[in-house]
Amino acid sequence: MGAVSSADISFSDSEGKLINLPAPAERVVCLNSDAAEMMVALGAGDKIVGLTDSVMTDTTLMSHIPNAVSVGDWQTPNFEKVLQLKPDAVITYSSSKPKNQDQFLNAGINLTYLDCYKIKTLDHDVRSLGTLIDAADKAEAYTQFKEKWEGLVSSKVANLAPEQIPSVYIEGYSDYSANGMDSGVDQELSVAKGTNLASALREQWPKVTPEWIISQNPGVIIKVVSLKPEKTLAQVRDDVLHRSGFETLSAVKNNQVFALNGDLAYGPRSPAGLVYVAKALYPDQLQDVSPDDVLKEYAEKFVSGMEKGEYYSPVL
């Protein structure tokens, strides 16, 4: 082994594995949409040379990513296309690895697992990403932004009595697919002080039944939505309110049903989702705070244009 050059960089990935590279990455393929947005937030959108199809349709984000071409589907990216781009790094989720990852490993392309979507691990992931692309100062600015809003929410809910803390059913993109223990919104809920009913099922994404939800009688329902043009968030929320048998639920009777865009449930914009979740649970304690404030600051400091969008229903 030769001498270690001063350009050598090292960081740990989302699995805790130490990564060593000879120099910061200048050409990055992002198979992870959250890492792609975080790269833009760190001022490095021009270093992204490849993206998955789903990200390419996000016109606001793509306005900050001038050099990227599509490498296909995020679950099975086009290996040949990635190879042609000669990336210094290929970033993907640790929790949802490409189905053809062996193709990359066999070709000597090491995948870098950086999730950049869970609020508990965002600090770690953004700092590692900052090291990878030589944007440590901007990564530190992002962690300060996130910790400011997280600290504000924590302080607002610090003195709640146990009887004030509601039980919550969090539903993912698919009907009756719950957000269980340590899922993205479960982590937001732990900061915002709600009781996630599905965490008792000891899985991250448990499938549940209408009967199970009715038996649990949640005080609050949060539906996470992957936005599709045919339905607004208000329509998705209305569908939940009118599910058969749900008229007996406390959450429905008291109009405590909320729809949240997945872009705020996970990823770089999740501090705004945290504020929304906390305000849904405790409107009195957070009456002087708005998720719009978070989005406005995020747009000003990190990714312009992100303050606009259909993010939640109802607006709080």
The answer to the question of residue 152 being in a domain is no
- Give yes or no: residues 70 and 179 share one domain: no
Query: Has residue 217 been placed in a domain?
Result: yes
Model's pTM, two decimal places? Answer: 0.93
| Whether residues 232 and 301 fall in one domain | yes
Does residue 3 register a pLDDT over 50? no
Amino acid at residue number 230: E
251 and 171 in a common domain: yes
Residues 121, 197 share a domain: no
**212, 293: one domain:** yes
Does the residue 178 lie in any domain? yes
Token pair for 69: 């071409």
Tell whether 195 is covered by a domain.
yes
For the chain, the domain total comes to 2
- Is residue 295 included in any domain, yes or no? yes
**Residue range(s) defining the domain that contains residue 14:** 9-134
The CA distance from 271 to 154, in Å, is 12
Paired with 312 in beta bridges are 260
pLDDT, tens digit (0-9, with 9 covering 90-100), for 10-32: 999 999 999 999 999 999 999 99
pLDDT band (50, 70, 90) for residue 274: very high
Name the band, by pLDDT with cuts 50, 70 and 90, for residue 229.
Answer: low
CATH number for the domain that contains residue 183:
3.40.50.1980
Q: Which helix (H) or strand (E) holds 189?
A: helix 184-192
Higher pLDDT, 107 or 171: 171
Is there a single domain that holds both residue 252 and residue 286? yes
As a residue count, the chain comes to 316
**Residue 140 domain flag:** no
pLDDT in tens, 38-94: 999 999 999 999 999 999 999 999 999 999 999 999 889 999 999 999 999 999 999
